Structure 1
Amino acid sequence: MTPRTEQQPQMSVEEFEELERHAPETVRLEFIRGKVQVKRVTDGNHDQIIAWLQRLCMQHRPELWLYGERGMKVERYRKGRARPDGVLAPFGFPTGHGDWSEASGVLMTVEVTSHDSDTHQRDRVEKPDGYAAAGIPVYLLIDRDDGSVTVFTEPEDGRYRQQVNRPFGATVKLPDPVNIALDTEFLKELAD
């Protein structure tokens, strides 16, 4: 049997959007590389990491907001649908967008790993490619599995050309257009 890919998806984007609209609140669905993926509902430590990052972004860049779980059109030709844990964009960015926003204007997407079997493929392989293909300048991966922060930058031809990985506790520079330095010591407490 041939595996489903972007070229041969499980369903159309429109069919996925209809399915996602009717999914129960306990399930988060995404459409990456032509297949439907179930995203685990977050735990308290995950939520606290996003709250910590929202506060830091607000302190350093008050004209921006880190929107949680914002539906994004990603991948080439916007054929994918993802719900990043965070989307950093100018305040007011999603106004009038409906369920799914174009990537134009987004400065950074954020994912915090969940402790599930799909984390590696989804957060470390598929999403960086999807976000890069959509032209999102920075992708921040907070990896609770290995206690590290990875900053992906310079999207080109569907891939990020630069990738910097630092352990929790290090200071991590989020380059332009984000321009924020993160002291990640706090993340050591929330790695579980």
Structure 2
Amino acid sequence: MAGHTPQMSVEEFETIAYAAPKTVTLEFLGGRVGVKKGMDGDRSTIVSWLVRRCLQSRPELDLYHGRGLRVDAHRQSRARPDAVLAPEAHFAGHGEWSDPDGVLMVVEVTSYDSDTDRRDRHEKPAAYGQAGIPLYLLIDRDSCTVTVHGGPDRRVGGYRDARVTKFGETLVLPDPVGITLDTEVLKNYVR
């Protein structure tokens, strides 16, 4: 966000986020504080479905829920993706916020709140791409699609490639993940 004055420093944000009740998830993207809507039952079910598929296909990996990451080019943003795919025990010994080095994929499942478009479709892919995270998987319940963003662009942010698959179609997550998903079941978890 060029020309945007941050609302606070990263240190101030981390202090506030640490003190926030566990019922509130705060993120800090592009210098702005955002409140991430809690998981509804369908969103939680989608993440659980993805955990099972990933661990069945790649048991040497873990899919972490709500893991705090330092993202963007200078690691000045803080995000809590719905899921983070990384090697088993990758985050052992880490604090609340980790560098994304070694992360294979981040996952967001859209919520039905007013800032989903800005946050999940624009700000997060920009920050995740700048951080060099190989894949960003967006499970979009509004459009009934799954988008795989690949080819992170560390210079300008975002990803060079985006492949959209409709719910019900087979989706291949490219390397470094290398998992095939049948997305038919996702039709059950939209309004």
Name the TM-score class by shorter chain: over 0.9
How many residues were matched structurally? 189
Could you tell me which residue of structure 2 aligns to residue 12 of structure 1?
9
Could you tell me which residue of structure 2 aligns to residue 185 of structure 1?
184
Measure the CA separation in 1 of the matches of 2:43 and 2:3.
29
| Partner SS for 1:56 | helix
Q: Does the Cα contact within 8 Å between 1:5 and 1:35 map onto a contact in 2?
A: no
Q: Runs ≥4 in structure 1, deviation > 4 angstroms?
A: 4-7
Could you tell me which residue of structure 1 aligns to residue 57 of structure 2?
60
Measure the CA separation in 1 of the matches of 2:109 and 2:2.
25
Could you tell me which residue of structure 2 aligns to residue 132 of structure 1?
129
Unaligned runs of 5+ in 1: none
User: Which shifted more, 150-159 or 54-63?
Assistant: 150-159
Measure the CA separation in 2 of the matches of 1:78 and 1:53.
27
| Partner SS for 1:140 | strand
Any residues of structure 2 matched to 1:42-191 within 5 Å, and which?
42-156=39-153, 157=155, 158-191=157-190
> Deviation of residue 105 (structure 1)?
0.5
Residues 135-174 of structure 1 show CA distances to partners (whole Å, capped at 9, x for unaligned) of 0000000001111100000001212000011110011111
1:65 maps to a residue whose letter is: D
> Deviation of residue 7 (structure 1)?
5.6
> Deviation of residue 123 (structure 1)?
0.2
Measure the CA separation in 1 of the matches of 2:2 and 2:26.
17
1:67 maps to a residue whose letter is: Y
Measure the CA separation in 2 of the matches of 1:154 and 1:49.
25
Q: Does the Cα contact within 8 Å between 1:33 and 1:80 map onto a contact in 2?
A: yes
Measure the CA separation in 1 of the matches of 2:120 and 2:152.
16
Residues 1-24 of structure 1 show CA distances to partners (whole Å, capped at 9, x for unaligned) of xxx868621111010000001111
If the length of structure 2 is used for normalisation, what is the TM-score?
0.96
Measure the CA separation in 2 of the matches of 1:35 and 1:76.
16
Q: Is the alpha carbon distance of 1:181 and 1:31 closer, same or farther for their aligned partners in structure 2, counting shifts above 3 Å?
A: same
1:48 maps to a residue whose letter is: T
Q: Does the Cα contact within 8 Å between 1:26 and 1:41 map onto a contact in 2?
A: yes
Measure the CA separation in 2 of the matches of 1:159 and 1:26.
30
Measure the CA separation in 2 of the matches of 1:78 and 1:189.
37
If the length of structure 1 is used for normalisation, what is the TM-score?
0.96
Measure the CA separation in 2 of the matches of 1:63 and 1:8.
42
Unaligned runs of 5+ in 2: none
Residues 51-97 of structure 1 show CA distances to partners (whole Å, capped at 9, x for unaligned) of 00000000000000110000000011100000000000001011111
Q: Please, what is the CA RMSD of the aligned residues?
A: 1.2
Work out whether 1:25 is the aligned partner of 2:22: yes
Measure the CA separation in 2 of the matches of 1:112 and 1:36.
19
Q: Does the Cα contact within 8 Å between 1:112 and 1:144 map onto a contact in 2?
A: yes
> Deviation of residue 25 (structure 1)?
1.6
